[in-house]
Amino acid sequence: MYRLLLPVILLLTLVALSVLSDRPLPRADLTYTNSAEVNTLDPQRMSWMHDLRTARLLYQGLVANDVLASEFTIIPAVAESWQISPDTKTYTFHLRKNAKWSNGQPVTAHDFRYAWRRALLPDLVSDYVKMFLNIKGATAFYDWRQQQLEDFPDRTFVSAADRQRAAYELWEQTKAKFDELVALTAPDDHTLIVTLERPVPYFLELCAFAVFSPVYEPLVAPYERPDPTTARLIRKPGWTKPGVLISNGPFILTQWRMKRDMRFEKNPYFWDKDAIAIDSIHIPSISDPNAAVLAYQTGTIDWIANVTAPYRGDMVAQKQAFLDEHREEIERYHAQGLDQFTIDRLLPNDPRAHTHAVPSFGTYFYNFNCNPILPDGQKNPFADARVRRAFAMTVDKKSVADQIRRLNEPTASTLIPPNSIAGYTSPAGLPNIGDAKDQTERDAIIAQAQQLLKEASFPNDFIVEMAFNKDSGHDLIAQAIAKSWQKHLGVKTKLEQNELKIFREDLKTKQYMTARAGWFGDYGDPTTFLNINYSTDGNNDRAYNNPHYDQLLDQAALELDPAKRMTLLQEAERIIVEEDLPLIPIFHYATIYMFDAHTLTGLSTHPRTKQNPYLIDILTDDKGPNQPKPMRHHAATEAPSP
């Protein structure tokens, strides 16, 4: 009898344990959703915006951006102070002594040194390794390690054990070579000294970037071991799991259920924990953009970090109608210097006002493959800049922005969003039919474009292939551009839609003719956009090569006078957007948020769109009954009078 009951009892016990382990936790102080699943919590391997946003919850670098200040200034973080040498090449950071890891151990200069060494290893294949190559000796170290790894498989070994021993010996040699070559030293636990190859005016901006965050060596190192066959480090992600991960940021990871949710609790050891108004954050995984909007409308989440629902254009139009109804009030608030989100909070609470279109530090564009020969072996007419200019002039950018996107995004004549970088003035850009003042001007632009094609002997029977990935309306944009080229230039087009993974691979390997693309700046300097067209840059998907353009960027890298440096960079951008056109800027992105400004504060309106969720607070307000969700935490501060 008992033998028969034993399996049943065991099964019931397992079910009970499963139910208990999956028991829902109390609602977090802040619940928001990203547009995609987090890929990694290893800061040195991150590249996606939502990954970097999550990194700023878990980690803190030497410095940070003051995202709520209009100037987006650099402020102290783990480093409480720093000095810059007279030649602006050596930075000495002084780490605060009360900075701690989530296990209570002190954050030291050695932790930063270890993390930055990881980022410099070719084994890691970091998307942002070039940022670290600004450090003196870093390129020499990277090249040395890469050569050693390339040579290792060709070496002869007596046995497998001998090969494995050699792989470990090479790793020890690599660490010693780093100490020898790279000008990154920690003379004591709270001092980090960095010497650069040349002055980098935006180096502190780089230090504020999440990939420059420290990681805890006693935790991470055991998960990284040399592969006995290739000698490359095998990196296992087990150290990023909840209950295992040790971090130094304002929050700690307490739950991560893949494709379900993530949960964070305030880090009790964070040096500035008293300045954080919320204690817990929940990030459910909602892959369907329509479901995300519904979750917000039903009060399940407080903020959508990137609204991608196909009807978001209608949402923005409804918000605009609401703003038009309160135009006079808004003008008064603007005169007081108030930002967009503060003004929204001062206006009546209307569900239409919960959609927020914010200018972003990014540009949507179309690439040209500039190689002389196309992947199929035929001569590439787009290798001629005259052809590229003609095609650029006949894209109706305004139609794309106003009729397809419908997000109040400005058309783009430049790669760098205007007025997004202090001290930098963008060039005018190339004339475009969408921005023509009247039909006469439009006809003149079309005639000029047709003449350029004639001068370049553009083949009459040539079929222009346009590559793009599924989703996000890229197909509609491609159709509109193709229609414009067919109408005004008389060319034939072929649309090529692929899955995102295939599309990206084709872009990187230059297996395309023209292709949609986009770029968001990583730091507050023109080079964050301009470098992607440098001939040898890993993000130069266009195979563009202009020695004069490279020379301008090289000169700017050595120029110590800030004004002269900006002039050099402006000329570089002018070449890109007025003469050579390796790409066609179409529009500057807007990011669409969804939240109630009467309830939630602490989000930035700055076009850099670098949001720090740990700065968010949930407001209480006793002024009226029109609050759709329960209020928590701090009372709203008194608003300026209208």
pLDDT per position as a tens digit, 7-55: 443 443 333 333 334 567 899 999 999 988 898 999 999 888 889 999 9
Alpha-carbon dihedral angle through residues 152, 154, 156, 162, given to the nearest 10 degrees: 30
Q: Vertex 396, ends 393 and 401: CA angle to 5°?
A: 130
pLDDT score for 641: 31
Share of the chain above pLDDT 70, in %: 93
Look at 48 and 315; give whichever has higher pLDDT: 315
pLDDT of residue 307: 94
Q: Give pLDDT tens digits for 46-100.
A: 888 889 999 999 999 999 999 998 888 999 999 999 999 999 999 999 999 999 9
Q: Where in the chain is the domain with CATH 3.10.105.10?
A: 363-588
Residue 240 exposure: Cα atoms within 13 Å on the Cβ side:
23
Q: How many residues does the chain have?
A: 642
Mean residue pLDDT across the chain: 91
State the Cα–Cα distance between residues 424 and 230, nearest whole angstrom: 46
Burial of 24 (0-12, 13-18, 19+ CB in 10 A): exposed
pLDDT value of position 625: 34
| Spacing of C-alpha 455 from chain mean position | 40
Q: What pLDDT score does 23 carry?
A: 63
Contact 248, 59 (CB under 8 A): yes
pLDDT of 70 reads 82
pTM over the 0.75 mark:
yes
Alpha helix positions (H), 27-159: 49-58, 109-120, 129-132, 138-151
Q: Is it the case that residue 113 has pLDDT exceeding 60?
A: yes
- CATH number for the segment(s) 363-588: 3.10.105.10
- Of all residues in the chain, what percent carry a pLDDT higher than 90? 81
Between 95 and 522, name the one with better pLDDT.
Answer: 95
Q: What dotted CATH number matches 30-237? A: 3.90.76.10
Compute the Cα dihedral for 436, 441, 446, 448 and give only its sign. negative
- What's the gap between Cα 431 and its chain centre? 30
**Beta strands 463-469 and 261-266, pairing class:** unpaired
C-alpha torsion 214→216→217→221, nearest 10: -110
Question: pLDDT-based confidence at 560, cuts 50/70/90?
Answer: confident
Alpha helices in 305-438 (DSSP H): 312-325, 327-335, 340-346, 385-393, 397-399
d(CA 434, CA 400): 9
Q: For 362-402, what is each residue's pLDDT tens digit?
A: 999 999 999 999 999 999 999 999 999 999 999 999 999 99
- Span 250-258, average pLDDT: 96
pLDDT band at 153 (very low <50, low <70, confident <90, very high): confident
Token duo for residue 249: 């940021």
pLDDT number for residue 537: 86
Distance separating alpha carbons of residues 307 and 482, to the nearest angstrom: 27
The CA dihedral of 623, 624, 628, 631, to the nearest 10 degrees, is 30
pLDDT bracket for residue 455 (50, 70, 90): very high
Q: Does position 5 have pLDDT exceeding 80, yes or no?
A: no
Q: With 70 as the cut, is the pLDDT of residue 636 above it? A: no
Is the pLDDT at 584 greater than 80? The verdict is yes
Predicted local confidence at residue 538, as pLDDT: 80
Per-residue pLDDT averaged across 516-534, rounded? 93
User: Which pLDDT score is estimated for 47?
Assistant: 83
- Please, which contacts does 39-43 make with residues 24 or more away whose CB atoms are closer than 8 Å? 40/237, 40/240, 41/237, 41/240, 41/245, 41/253, 41/256, 42/215, 42/235, 42/237, 42/240, 43/115, 43/210, 43/211, 43/212, 43/213, 43/215
pLDDT for 626: 37
Mean pLDDT of 253-279: 96
- Residue 110's alpha-carbon distances to 44, 56, 196, in angstroms, are 16, 20, 18
pLDDT at 22: 58
How many whole angstroms separate alpha carbon 530 and alpha carbon 551?
Answer: 12
Residue intervals in the chain for CATH 3.90.76.10: 30-237
> What's the gap between Cα 642 and its chain centre?
37
